[in-house]
Amino acid sequence: CSECLTRRLGSLSRKTACAWVLVRAAKMFVKNAAVPLALVATSLLGLCWAEPIQLKEGCKVETLRACGDTYLPYWKTTRLEVSGEPLKKNCQIYREQIECSRNFTRECAVGVPRAAALLGLEAFQDNVDATCTVGTKSYEEYQKAIGCMNSVGAKLNGCFRGLHDNLEKALVKAPTKDTINYSCCSYAEMVDCFERVLTPCEDVGGKQLTLTLVEQVFGETLSLVCGSYKRGSESCRSLPELPALGPNDPKYDGFVELVLEIASTFGRKD
């Protein structure tokens, strides 16, 4: 339970607690690696090292952006390929994008962030390989659920875009000390959105599969930093509504960069 984890972490030094959480995340990634790497890995990094993103000299975040992130399901599309050559082609694109991101991380990131990001990327690639390989359990589960999930693909895309827009506002418009709180509540809203949208897919396992993976790989980790800012909480309801972004406000197209920036605000008061 999250309370048990919080008590356990509270008895450890900061560095020891961070190491314990990262090891626990590694085990979760190996077992359930179907959620985009940065959403979890960078939340952990924000917990342990509340500092701006550091890249080696000569490295630019634009290089990471150029890798692409269409491997994040329903983020930039309303339909996923089902089988045959179209699925095979997309799987190859996903592998290339992940490998590009891995190369950037190896060459440009430093320290524990580098190690954690590589761990997540490698685990996510393993999951893509399994889902794209005919005959595996992951492939069979995908085949069973994908038809229904595609039927609500536009709504799933809306859930992801709602999360993106809310995270963007949290980063740009919220006081720095409240950025994580707004982000936690934005995640909670996305889970609520999934819950509603995937109800028609309950019989084929799409709803439970998605919600379970999101909770195990993302939600359990976030519970360590979100405190009272969780689904249906008074804390979330009491947060003032943030204004819309203006034409001159910074924009973040990719989830990876956006979540990295948000994670870097954890513990900061400025």
* Tokens coding 3: 């309370």
Of 31-35, 166-170, 208-212, the one with minimum mean pLDDT is 31-35
Question: What's the chain's length in residues?
Answer: 270
Q: Greater confidence, 116 or 142? A: 142
Residue 44: the pLDDT is: 44
Per-residue pLDDT of 206-258, as tens digits, reads 898 778 767 755 666 566 678 899 999 999 999 999 999 999 999 888 776 77
CA–CA dist 44, 198 (Å, integer): 28
Give the Cα separation of 82 and 10 in Å (integer): 46
Indicate the pTM of the whole model. Answer: 0.74
Q: What is the mean pLDDT of residues 32-43?
A: 42
Q: Is the pLDDT of residue 16 over 50?
A: no
Burial 80-91 (b: 16+ CB within 10 A, else e): bbeeeeebeebb
Please give the pLDDT value at position 3: 43
pLDDT band at 117 (very low <50, low <70, confident <90, very high): low
Is pLDDT at 111 greater than 70 in this prediction?
no
Kindly state the average pLDDT of the residues 136-162.
Answer: 94
For residue 43, the tally of other CB atoms under 10 A from its CB is 26
pLDDT tens digits, one per residue of 170-193: 999 999 999 989 989 998 999 999
What mean pLDDT is reported for the chain?
78
Residue 123 structure tokens = 């685990």
pLDDT at 52 over 60: no
| pLDDT attached to residue 19 | 46
Positive/negative CA dihedral, 109, 115, 120, 124: positive
Report the percentage of the chain scoring pLDDT > 90.
Answer: 44
Q: What angle do CA 115, 20, 95 make, to 5 degrees?
A: 35
Taking residues 123-151, what's their average pLDDT? 88
Decide: helix, strand or coil at residue 165.
Answer: helix
